[in-house]
Structure 1
Amino acid sequence: MRTVGVEEELLLVDPDSGEPRAQSSAVLAHAGRDVAPRGAFEEELHDQMLEFATRPQADLGKLHAEIVRCRAEAARHAREAGCAVAALATSPLPVTPCVGGGRRYRWMAAQYGVVVHEQLVLGCHVHVAVGGDEEGVAVIDRVRPWLPVLCALSANSPFWQGRDSSYSSYRSRVWQRWPSAGPTELFGSAAEYRRRVAGMVATGTILDEGMVYFDVRLSPRYPTVEFRVADVCLDARTAVLVAALARALVETAVREWREGAAPAGHSVSLLRLAAWRAARSGLTGELLHPETLRRAPAAAVVDRLLAHTGEALAADGDLDRVREGAAELLRHGNGARVQRELLERTGSLREVVAACVDRTQAA
């Protein structure tokens, strides 16, 4: 069974006003005082953000428990620093982001200007183990059409600078401003992947391989493929659902590759449209069907993803769990729908943030 790990970026907020707080250094200082720290907490591009990474897990129950634990530890360290954490992919309230002081972040601010200062967006990255670069690139080529569905499931960023953006995942639209972000052409081999990445770095437009922000890429640090399309999920269970589907997509792609099945030849232009539609609609309305790239009800597209990955999910013992999780999302809504319903009920974005702070720590 392939292992899977999750990286989550959390928003640091004032516990009273709900406004983002530039407190990552203080939170990390408290985290560093633990005698035996168990959560891998790191700074991020902006001081209003905190990132953690789980350990690789084969069992989804253990992955869920670790996400819950890491969120709880992040909340504890945040309280010690006078703030709180929220699993929100954008801030509902207006914010002026503070760029971190590291050399890398200073280079990015000088290179990209306002793009950096508008990148206070928070994602969920899923790492799935692969047996080498050739297998990894075979996966990247074959999962491309299914990635927008993961975005729709995880969508958790309807608000931007105090207003409704009209998108379910506005984070993903802001993320596309990076010059290296988005869907990719077919690579065909690890050698071609490496050639293209080296060519991108050689332009000087990006600093290094770590700034190749493909929707899914070979991890620069681990023997994994890294899925980068999901919003940070409001509920830990949704993060596990996305991780389970990512692992099943990897296993399904590897089986297709070993059987000699060619990847779908969808153009990047059409994949961009599918990604836009997923960001706009989420699970409300229609998506572009991954196989036909024609409009279809979101529920039908999710069902097709479950059918596509069904054998892999069943082999890992995850099929029932994933079916139940997907059905629950379709019934009750993803984070974007929850946030909008909270605003409709309370009339206050501050109350939306407060409720999301509580939900971030729920099991």
Structure 2
Amino acid sequence: MRSVGVEEELLLVHPETGEPQAVSGAILAAAGREGEFEAELHREQLEFATEPHRVMTDLAGEVRRWRKLADERAAEVGARVAALATSPLEADPTIGTGERYRWLSKEFGLTTQEQLTCGCHIHVEVASDDEGVGVIDRIRPWLPPLLALSANSPFWQGVDSGYSSYRSRVWSRWPSAGPMEVFGSAERYHQRVGAMLATGTLLDKGMIYFDARLSHRYPTVEVRVADVCLEADDTVLVAALVRGLVETAARDLRDGRPAPEVGVGELRLAAWRAARSGITGDLVHPLTWRPAAAETVLAALLDHTSDALADSDDLSFVRKRLDEVLSRGNGSQRQRNTFARTGDPRAVVADAVERTAA
């Protein structure tokens, strides 16, 4: 069974006003806590990474522990944490300290300033770069449904963006972000990465922001399309589905099944539709490339990965959690429902704070 780990970015907010707070430096500087959390591009963010796990209940427990600890550490400096992929309130974020962040700010200007977004990255173990690239080539059509499922960023600068995941639209401004063509081999993958770095546009391999990439730190495929989820259970659901996709793709690779013939143009359209609709409207079906209800597309995703999920004892868990999300809604829907009930974006943040620390 493949191990899976999660990286989550959390928003630091004022406990009363809900406004983003630039206090990550104070949290990270606390004596004796080196390595607990990581800095992000903006000081209004905090990131944690779980250990790799093979059992989803273990992963769920660690995600909850990290969220709770992040909230405790934030409270020590007069803030709270919220699992929100964008701020529902207006924000003027502060670029983090350090040479890397200064370079990004100078090189990319307003794009860097406007990146106060929180994502969720899923790492799944692979045996080699060759297997990893074979996986990346084969999971491409199924990544937009994961974005739709995780969508948790309807608001931007105090207004409803009209999108379920506006974070993904902001993130797509980076020149290396988004879907890529089929690579075909690890050699070809590394050649393309090298060619991109040779242009001088990107600082280093850490700026290879593909929707799915070979991790430059771990022996994993890293899937980077998801918003940070409001509910910890939804994070674990996305992680289980990603592991199912990776295992399914690895089996297809071993059996000699080719990667789907779909272009970057269609993938970009599917990602746009997923960001716009979330799970409340039509998505682009990864098998027909025609519009289909989100519930239909997610059922197809479950069917596509069902053998791998069954072999890892995740099938019943995924089926149950998927039904729950479709019934209660994802983070984007909850945010909008809270705002519709209260008319107050501060209430949206307050609700997210309580859900994050629960």
2:352 aligned counterpart, secondary structure: helix
Answer yes or no: is 1:160 the counterpart of 2:156: yes
Structure 2 counterparts to residues 1-363 of structure 1, below 5 A? 1-30=1-30, 32-34=31-33, 40-362=36-358
Shift of residue 2, structure 1, vs aligned partner:
0.3
2:100 aligned counterpart, secondary structure: helix
Following the alignment from structure 2 to structure 1, what is the Cα–Cα distance between the partners of residues 93 and 198?
A: 30
Following the alignment from structure 2 to structure 1, what is the Cα–Cα distance between the partners of residues 282 and 216?
A: 35
Following the alignment from structure 1 to structure 2, what is the Cα–Cα distance between the partners of residues 49 and 116?
A: 14
Task: With the length of structure 1 as denominator, give the TM-score of the two structures.
Answer: 0.98
1:256 aligned counterpart, secondary structure: helix
Shift of residue 330, structure 1, vs aligned partner:
0.6
Amino acid at match of 1:328: E
Amino acid at match of 1:279: A
1:234 aligned counterpart, secondary structure: coil
Amino acid at match of 1:29: A
Following the alignment from structure 1 to structure 2, what is the Cα–Cα distance between the partners of residues 297 and 72?
A: 35
Stretches of structure 1 that go unaligned for 5 or more consecutive residues are none
Shift of residue 292, structure 1, vs aligned partner:
1.5
Following the alignment from structure 1 to structure 2, what is the Cα–Cα distance between the partners of residues 105 and 351?
A: 32
Shift of residue 220, structure 1, vs aligned partner:
0.6
Is this contact kept in 2: 1:7–1:126, CA < 8 A?
A: yes
Task: With the length of structure 2 as denominator, give the TM-score of the two structures.
Answer: 0.99
**1:122-160 alpha-carbon deviations (Å, 9 max, x no partner):** 000000000010000000000000000110010000000
**1:196-231 alpha-carbon deviations (Å, 9 max, x no partner):** 000000000001111000000000100000000000
**1:237-263 alpha-carbon deviations (Å, 9 max, x no partner):** 000000000000000000000000001
Following the alignment from structure 1 to structure 2, what is the Cα–Cα distance between the partners of residues 26 and 77?
A: 9
Shift of residue 28, structure 1, vs aligned partner:
1.4
Amino acid at match of 1:15: P
State the Cα RMSD in Å. Answer: 0.8
1:44 aligned counterpart, secondary structure: coil
Amino acid at match of 2:260: A
**1:47-102 alpha-carbon deviations (Å, 9 max, x no partner):** 00000000000010000000000001100000001100000000000000110111
Shift of residue 29, structure 1, vs aligned partner:
2.2
2:288 aligned counterpart, secondary structure: coil
Shift of residue 346, structure 1, vs aligned partner:
1.2
Shift of residue 33, structure 1, vs aligned partner:
3.0
Is this contact kept in 2: 1:170–1:279, CA < 8 A?
A: yes
1:296 aligned counterpart, secondary structure: strand
**1:278-318 alpha-carbon deviations (Å, 9 max, x no partner):** 00000001000011111000000000000000000000000
Following the alignment from structure 1 to structure 2, what is the Cα–Cα distance between the partners of residues 242 and 214?
A: 18
1:42 aligned counterpart, secondary structure: coil
Is this contact kept in 2: 1:28–1:77, CA < 8 A?
A: no
Following the alignment from structure 1 to structure 2, what is the Cα–Cα distance between the partners of residues 290 and 359?
A: 32
2:283 aligned counterpart, secondary structure: strand
**1:154-195 alpha-carbon deviations (Å, 9 max, x no partner):** 000000000000000000000000000000000000000000
Following the alignment from structure 1 to structure 2, what is the Cα–Cα distance between the partners of residues 16 and 27?
A: 19
